[in-house]
Structure 1
Amino acid sequence: MKNKLIALAVTLLLGGSQVWAQAQQPVTASAAPVKIGYTNMEYILQNMPESKDITNQITIQRTQLEKQFQDMSKEFQDKLAAYEKGQAQMSDLIRADKEKELQGLQQRIQEFQANSSTQLQNKYNQLVNPVMQKIQKNVDDVAKENGYTFVFNLDAGSGTIPVLLYAPEENNITDLVFKKMNVPIPSKQAAQPATQPNTNAAKPAAPAPTKKN
């Protein structure tokens, strides 16, 4: 009976030792492999069929704004010339009224300049946002279908330090996105300027301020 108790105790000790040894082993999670891809959203946008129409509409609005500015400037210059030509014969009351009119017109021109850039940018966003949402959806689909865990936008840091400093070409999903959207793959993937509206073109120099004599 004594021998049986000793044998049982040894068995329990050995079993406890094995459990303790297993508890000391590092826990290794069976994590899925990380697959990282990248693309260039601006480059895709520039090669979308909608891009040409966006550029045309922005050009039309910019031309309209420039025409409005030119008309306002001409009106100001004509009234200023008439004021300068006839101010010597004007009464103080009429002179003050003309100067007030010129100052008001000049203020309207300056406000127009300030608002024209915002109008162009808002128009651009209105046209581009639906296309970017379409591109994003297809990027999501390509990433899921090809097992990518993360996808970086290559031009996200343009103008400063890029977000992605190095990546192998086989991780570039741009062509896969073009295929997904049935858009012809451009013959050469080269960095291109952003398709942003040229807001400065609608902001010519303001007329010179009026001077009181």
Structure 2
Amino acid sequence: MKQKTLLSIILFNLLAFTTFAQTNLKVGYADVEYILSEMPETVKAQAELDDVMQKLTKTRDSIVEDYNAKLEDYKKNANTFVENVKKEKETDLMRIQNGIQDFDTDIQKAVNYKKGLLLKPIYARIGELIAVVAKAQNFTHIINSQIDGTSVLLYAEKTTDISDLVIAEAKK
């Protein structure tokens, strides 16, 4: 019984390897970040992101102006304040300063969140376009040439780069 099972497994693997060996692989690559930079949707998304950033920065600048005015007033009149008023003003200044630091963190989080929302459909479209081009060019596999700006390809012929074909497909 064990010999029949072992023989069946060996025959199955042999058949699978033979079938796999007969499959013609055609591997290509694409630079998704390059494609993203050339997508028309990216310009619109960047403009929207810039608008959000400008509004948040304007709000921050207003808070900083208020803080600077209060700080200047404190520096000018520190000697005239009664001790408990002086402590109250110092506490208020510290609270505003901490609020500015928290606001900076919140701005960065908000911008990153908005960027993710804006780019998600663009990346999905890039994936769809890569699939269209890969099928049209008879590629069996497409890999990304970079991850976080670091090249992951040790060698690839330029003829297997479909990035420009994907950009052309996007502009159709």
| TM-score category (smaller protein) | 0.7 to 0.9
Moved more, 60-69 or 38-47: 60-69
Give the conservation status (yes or no) of the 8 Å contact 1:79–1:102. yes
**Structure 2 portions without partners, runs of 5+:** 1-10
Q: Does 1:170 find its partner at 2:159? A: yes
**Structure 1 portions without partners, runs of 5+:** 1-22, 185-213
Q: Distance in 1 between matches of 2:94 and 2:168?
A: 58
Q: Secondary structure at the match of 2:25?
A: coil
Q: TM-score, normalised by structure 1?
A: 0.66
Give the conservation status (yes or no) of the 8 Å contact 1:157–1:163. no
Give the structure 2 partner of residue 136 of structure 1: 127
Q: Which of structure 1's runs of 4+ aligned residues deviate more than 4 A?
A: none
Residue 76 of structure 1, CA deviation:
0.8
Give the structure 1 partner of residue 18 of structure 2: 29
Give the structure 1 partner of residue 50 of structure 2: 59
Q: Secondary structure at the match of 2:29?
A: strand
Query: Which structure would you say has the larger Rg?
Result: 1
Give the conservation status (yes or no) of the 8 Å contact 1:35–1:149. yes
Q: Does 1:147 find its partner at 2:134? A: no
Residue 78 of structure 1, CA deviation:
0.7
Q: Among the aligned pairs, what percent are the same residue?
A: 27
Q: Does 1:49 find its partner at 2:49? A: no
Give the conservation status (yes or no) of the 8 Å contact 1:142–1:180. yes
Give the structure 2 partner of residue 199 of structure 1: none
Q: Distance in 2 between matches of 1:120 and 1:92?
A: 42
Q: Distance in 1 between matches of 2:27 and 2:46?
A: 33
Q: Does 1:122 find its partner at 2:122? A: no
Among 74, 83, 96, which residue is 1:105 paired with? 96
Give the structure 2 partner of residue 89 of structure 1: 80
User: How many residues matched?
Assistant: 157
